[in-house]
């Protein structure tokens, strides 16, 4: 038996699949690839598949990670090619590594880089440095214990903006992971609250990478 | 940068994968290289539609053709419909996202009467005129099939043509004719309909004039041109073993109702329960060989990655090669760690042993369908199961560790008395007693018996097609009687909503006059009538009133000499057979099943199946 960490893309075609549906989907993918999945022991065995950090519905990504357990020892390239052959358009495995024990620990993920393409209600001057100069950015944030006001400023590490009339592109590095997970939607909400006249009519979110200690795991 | 309307809409609807397509095994073709674009319409939401085996088969059959692209079109859920209407977005197909109004043809499958409002609503969303007579050459042909098509008179005026019976062959024939028709200069819609009216199994409603008597019963149904046959006969696949069936099916992303590989074991049913339309309209019984099914199962599992497989048929225990098939499947599923589910089995030693062998069997929830509470009434409906059968089977189950038993009955059956209703409670009590008679150490704890009743609805093409349907008050009275007859706290009672049954009864035996009511009801906001949360009974009653039609008219008893709205349709089983069955039911006489003794129902006219075993 061996464990593999896979890095994969999720494109526009498949961005609306919820996390739970995605896990079931991956099980079927591996069955179709005829790779022998490892199952958990116990009364109700389930396949050993672990997704690094759930992707929200509607979000695309270039750098998702999952870990799968296979019953047998396979060449990395073989596993990657076999799975890619059975994936529908929109999904692609772009990296793979056979790992031992705790090597590549998803719990270490603490940041993520996102790119958001936003359409503004009207052309507005977006002054990022002055936005970031706020000592605190208070917004309503959903947490395990309900919705409450939270200061998200300490969790924004960088934010850049390019603008063309009422279309802007935001690139941000923010806290992510089990410890503290900030959604780009919440950052945009804060911008709408703190930047005068800034109001989005629609935006699309793309996750560029997951980071652990400022480096990608794979 | 610009965002698509679809992206903006999907951000605010629940379960967006209902609308995005792109699932595994979806058929992708270049519409520019296609002669005929066909929209397979299922008038319900994605999760229901994608569970339908007929869709998978016809999608496969049509897409095998290089000249045709079959795409899926489903009813958008209410939130999506609202968003679509607000943004002037028309009904679209899942494969390409293109509007169906640009298609050559769309076909609805009519699985249940309560979906008629969705059919009309989907036509409206598509921008297609609701009535056949108002459609010009620039809109697609609208056809329909499925079990309700045998009497779809209530929506006949909205459908250009029906395909009666099994669709694998006929659907290709109408496509062939369509291509011929397209080549004719200055072709008209009527011309195409005349051309296909020659094909067996095609029913073009507008080619038949319906005249009514003063009391609103039908006086006559007459073809109004030579191409229309006086009687339209259903089609079947003579050689079911080799009938086309997909070896890969679309695997949805979301959780659908039947999310597994389905193996269609046979068509038809040998039983002949007198209330059951499915038992008659799918005759004669035709089986697939166990070897064929085993190979198919293997191919479907590898092409889909599903981890569950299920057998599909009416009364699966009647499959003549069941032991062979289940042996093969158990071997296959154990090796691949796949779950096997076996619905619709009669409980006997064989099936119990089988259930013990099969993985993933949760020892809860076994359903029995005695259908009626007394032996007399079970004989009336020809449900050939005795109290002794039921009690000995439940005893076996209890000894095997099962403790959750559901007993399914109908109330409102013809010739039902108070005694029959009380008989339901008595039977449930006897099942409970059986449990307590088993020594404690040989049974599991916590017995749970659920009695569930639905209301009987007389259906066309059954022995009870002439019968009166109980009024809502009568049903409620019987439900109350049953409630008070159940004494034990271990027996729970659940019942079916009488309003839904009432409307279903109206449409099941309805005539063409109902189209106005349906269109009106859709205007009044009715849709998804099969969903309790969305069923608007008051709006339906208002619509009947506005159209000046009394729904009770359709629930009355009908005379044997009355012209029935479906008399010009031939399913193989004859009216005289149904008459004989009705007479026998009055005397509580049973009829043997097809394998015991042929009763001469008429289905042998198809020259195949169980009639010639």
pLDDT tens digits, one per residue of A30-55: 999 999 999 888 777 788 899 999 99
> What's the predicted TM-score (pTM) here?
0.95
| pLDDT for res B181 | 97
Cα dist from A164 to A123, A125, B4, whole Å? 9, 11, 19
- Please report whether residue B529 resides in a domain: no
Buried b (16+ CB within 10 A) or exposed e, B240-270: beebebbeebbbbbbebebbbbbbbbbbbbb
Predicted local distance difference test score (pLDDT) of residue B366: 81
Closest CA to B557 of B453, B382, B414: B414
Q: What is the pLDDT of residue B2?
A: 65
Put simply, the answer to whether B305 touches A27 (Cβ < 8 Å) is yes
Question: Is B564 domain-assigned?
Answer: no
Using a CB-CB cut-off of 8 Å, the residues of chain A touching B255 are 21, 24
DSSP bridge pairs for B459: none
Using the beta-carbon criterion (under 8 Å), do A57 and B16 form an inter-chain contact?
yes
- The reply to whether residue A17 touches residue B3, judged by beta carbons under 8 angstroms, is no
Give the angle subtended at the CA of A126 by the CAs of A122 and A131, to the nearest 5°: 135
The DSSP output letter for B8 is H
* Contact yes or no for B287/B321 (Cβ under 8 A): yes
Architecture of the CATH domain A2-104: 2-Layer Sandwich (3.30)
Please check whether the domain covering A108-211 is classified as CATH 3.30.70.3190.
yes
How long a stretch of residues is chain B? Answer: 613
Say if residues B142 and B108 touch (Cβ distance below 8 Å): yes
Radius of gyration (C-alpha) of chain B in whole angstroms: 25
A144 pLDDT exceeds 80?
no
Which of B305, B332, B338, B361 to probe by mutation at the A interface, max A CB count within 10 Å? B305
Helices B515-523 and B116-126, packing angle to 10 deg: 60
Domain limit, last residue, from B233, B263, B280:
B233
Q: Nearest by CB to A88, from B8, B22, B303: name it.
A: B22
Q: What angle do CA B165, B591, B322 make, to 5 degrees?
A: 65
Question: Cα separation of B365 and B352, whole Å?
Answer: 14
Do B210 and B246 belong to one domain?
Answer: no
Contact predicate B105/B40, CB 8 Å:
no
Q: Are residues B380 and B329 in the same domain?
A: no
Enumerate the CATH 3.30.70.3190 domain ranges in chain A, comma separated. 108-211
- B286 with B380, same domain: the answer is no
Q: B7 CA to chain A: closest CA distance, Å?
A: 8
**Which of B340, B361, B382 finishes a domain?**
B361
Contact state of B10 with A34 under an 8 Å Cβ cutoff: no
Q: Quick one: B172 and B277 in the same domain? A: no
Contacts B301 to A, Cβ<8 Å? 31
Going from the C-alpha of B63 to that of each of A89, B38, B242, B319, the distances in angstroms are: 19, 10, 18, 30
Q: Are residues B342 and B270 in the same domain?
A: yes
Q: Where are the beta strands (DSSP E) in B431-475?
A: 448-455
Q: Taking an 8 Å Cβ-Cβ cutoff, which residues of chain A contact chain B?
A: 13-14, 16-18, 21-22, 24-25, 27-32, 34, 39, 45, 57-58, 86, 88-90, 117, 119, 167, 169, 202, 204
Please give the tally of structural domains in chain B. Answer: 3
Please state the rounded mean pLDDT for residues A194-212. Answer: 96
H and E: helices and strands count for chain A = 4, 10
B315 & B422 share domain:
no
pLDDT band at A166 (very low <50, low <70, confident <90, very high): very high
The angle at the Cα of A9, spanning A8 to A12, to the nearest 5 degrees, equals 155
Which of B496, B528, B560 is where one domain is finished?
Answer: B496
The ipTM, to two decimals, is: 0.92
In this prediction, residue B351 carries a pLDDT of: 79
Q: pLDDT tens digits, residue range B474-523?
A: 999 999 999 999 999 999 999 998 999 999 999 999 999 999 999 999 99
Could you tell me if residue B289 is inside a domain? yes
- What pLDDT is recorded for position B285? 98
Residue A102 clears pLDDT 90, i.e. is over it = no
Does one domain contain both B243 and B152? no
- Is B222 among the domain residues? yes
Confirm if A55 and A64 have CB atoms less than 8 A apart: yes
Its domain, for residue B46, covers 30-233
Q: Which of residues 21-40 of B touch A (CB under 8 A)?
A: 22-24, 26
Give me the residue label for tokens 């698509």: B4
**Does B179 share its domain with B268?**
no
B63 and B79 inside one domain: yes
Say yes or no: B194 and B248 in one domain. Answer: no
Assigned domain for B486 exists: yes
CB A115 within 8 A of CB A199: no
**DSSP string for residues in B464-507:** TTTPPPPPHHHHHHHHHHHHHH---TTEEEEE--HHHHHHHHHH
Distance (Å, whole) CA B335 – CA B358: 12
User: Are B418 and B436 members of one domain?
Assistant: yes
Q: Are strands A167-175 and A156-164 parallel, antiparallel or unpaired?
A: antiparallel
We report the CATH number of the domain holding residue B278 as: 3.30.750.210
Q: Do B26 and A58 touch (CB under 8 A)?
A: no
Residue B549 belongs to some domain of the structure: no
What is residue A142's predicted lDDT score, i.e. its pLDDT? 82
Q: Cβ separation of A204 and B7 shorter than 8 Å?
A: yes
What CATH code is carried by the domain that includes residue B132?
A: 3.40.50.280
Q: Does residue B266 sit within a domain?
A: yes
* Burial class of residue B505, CB neighbours in 10 A (0-12, 13-18, 19+): buried
Q: Are residues B180 and B269 in the same domain?
A: no
The verdict on residue B557 lying in a domain is: no
Residue B103 contacts residue B37 (beta carbons within 8 Å): yes
CA pair distance B354, B344, nearest whole angstrom: 13
Task: Extract the residue ranges of chain B whose pLDDT is less than 50.
Answer: 361
* B116 Ramachandran zone, left/alpha/beta (phi>0; psi -120 to 50): alpha
pLDDT for res B360: 53
| CA–CA separation, A16 and A91 (whole Å) | 12
Q: How far is CA A87 from CA A29, B248, B567, B578, in A?
A: 7, 15, 51, 53
Over the stretch A146-161, which tens digit does the pLDDT of each residue have?
889 999 999 999 999 9
Q: Is A25 within 8 Å of B253 when comparing Cβ atoms?
A: yes
């Amino acid at each position: 038996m061996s464990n593999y960490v896979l890095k994969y893309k999720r494109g526009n075609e498949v961005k609306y699949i919820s996390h739970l549906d995605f896990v079931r989907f991956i099980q079927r993918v591996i069955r179709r690839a005829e790779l022998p999945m490892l199952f958990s022991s116990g009364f109700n065995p389930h396949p050993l598949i672990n997704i690094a950090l759930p992707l929200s519905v509607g979000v695309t990504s270039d750098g998702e990670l999952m870990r799968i357990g296979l019953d047998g020892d396979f060449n990395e390239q073989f596993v990657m090619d076999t799975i890619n052959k059975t994936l529908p358009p929109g999904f692609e495995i772009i990296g793979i590594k056979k790992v031992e024990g705790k090597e590549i620990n998803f719990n270490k993920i603490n940041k993520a880089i996102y790119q958001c393409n936003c359409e503004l209600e009207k052309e507005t001057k977006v002054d990022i440095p002055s936005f970031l100069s706020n000592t605190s950015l208070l917004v309503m944030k959903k947490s395990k214990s309900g919705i409450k006001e939270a200061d998200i400023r300490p969790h924004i590490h960088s934010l850049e903006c390019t603008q063309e009339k009422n279309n802007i592109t935001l690139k941000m590095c923010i806290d992510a992971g089990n410890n503290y997970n900030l959604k780009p939607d919440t950052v945009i909400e804060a911008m709408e609250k703190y930047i005068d006249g800034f109001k989005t009519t629609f935006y699309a979110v793309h996750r560029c990478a997951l980071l652990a200690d400022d480096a990608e795991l794979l | 940068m610009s965002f698509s309307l679809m992206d903006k809409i999907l951000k605010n609807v629940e379960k967006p994968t209902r609308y995005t397509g792109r699932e595994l095994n979806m058929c992708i073709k270049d519409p520019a290289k296609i002669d005929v674009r066909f929209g397979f319409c299922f008038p319900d939401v994605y999760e229901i539609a994608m569970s339908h085996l007929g869709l998978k088969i016809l999608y496969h059959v049509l897409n095998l053709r290089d000249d045709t692209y079959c795409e899926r079109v489903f009813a958008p859920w209410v939130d999506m419909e609202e968003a679509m209407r607000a943004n002037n977005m028309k009904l679209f197909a899942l494969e390409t996202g293109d509007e169906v109004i640009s298609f050559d043809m769309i076909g609805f499958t009519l699985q249940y009467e309560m979906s008629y409002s969705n059919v009309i609503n989907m036509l409206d969303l598509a921008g297609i005129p609701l009535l056949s007579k108002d459609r010009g050459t620039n809109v697609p042909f609208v056809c329909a099939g499925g079990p309700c098509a045998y009497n779809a008179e209530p929506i006949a005026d909205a459908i250009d043509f029906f395909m009666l019976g099994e669709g694998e062959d006929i659907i290709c024939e109408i496509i062939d004719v369509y291509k011929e028709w397209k080549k004719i200069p200055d072709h008209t819609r009527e011309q195409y309909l005349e051309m296909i009216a020659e094909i067996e199994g095609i029913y073009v409603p507008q080619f038949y004039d319906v005249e009514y008597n003063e009391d609103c019963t039908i006086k006559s149904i007459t073809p109004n041109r030579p191409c229309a046959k006086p009687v339209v006969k259903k089609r079947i696949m003579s050689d079911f073993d080799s009938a086309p069936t997909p070896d890969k099916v679309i695997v949805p992303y979301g959780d659908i109702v039947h999310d597994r590989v389905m193996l269609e074991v046979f068509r038809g049913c040998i039983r002949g329960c007198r209330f059951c339309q499915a038992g008659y309209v799918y005759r004669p019984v035709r089986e697939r060989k166990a070897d064929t099914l085993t190979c198919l199962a293997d191919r479907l599992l590898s092409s889909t990655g599903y981890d569950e497989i299920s057998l599909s048929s009416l009364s699966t225990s009647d499959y003549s090669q069941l032991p062979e098939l289940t042996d093969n499947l158990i071997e296959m599923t154990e090796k691949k760690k796949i779950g096997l589910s076996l619905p619709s089995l009669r409980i006997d030693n064989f099936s119990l042993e089988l259930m013990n062998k099969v993985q993933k069997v949760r020892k809860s929830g076994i359903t029995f369908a005695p259908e009626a509470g007394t032996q007399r009434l079970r004989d009336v409906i020809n449900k050939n199961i005795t109290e002794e059968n039921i009690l000995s089977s439940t005893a076996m189950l209890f000894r095997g560790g099962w403790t959750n038993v559901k007993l399914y009955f109908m109330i409102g059956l013809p010739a039902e008395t108070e005694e029959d209703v009380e008989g339901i409670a008595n039977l449930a009590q006897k099942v409970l007693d059986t449990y307590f008679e088993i020594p404690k150490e040989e049974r599991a704890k916590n017995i749970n018996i659920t009695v569930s009743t639905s209301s009987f609805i007389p259906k066309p093409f059954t022995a009870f097609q002439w019968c009166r349907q109980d009024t809502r008050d009568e049903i409620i009275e019987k439900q109350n009687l049953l409630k008070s007859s159940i004494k034990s706290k271990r027996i729970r009672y659940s019942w079916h909503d009488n309003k839904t049954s009432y409307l279903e009864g109206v449409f099941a035996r309805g005539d063409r006059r109902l189209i106005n009511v349906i269109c009106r009801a859709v205007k009044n906001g009715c849709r998804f009538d099969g969903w309790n949360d969305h069923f608007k009974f008051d709006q339906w009653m208002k619509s009947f009133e506005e159209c000046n039609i009394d729904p009770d008219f359709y629930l009355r008893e009908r005379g044997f000499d009355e012209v029935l709205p479906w008399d010009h349709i031939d399913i193989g089983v004859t009216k005289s057979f149904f008459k004989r069955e009705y007479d026998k039911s009055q005397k509580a006489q049973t009829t043997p099943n097809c394998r015991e003794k042929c009763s001469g129902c008429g289905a042998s006219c198809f020259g195949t199946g169980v009639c010639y075993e």
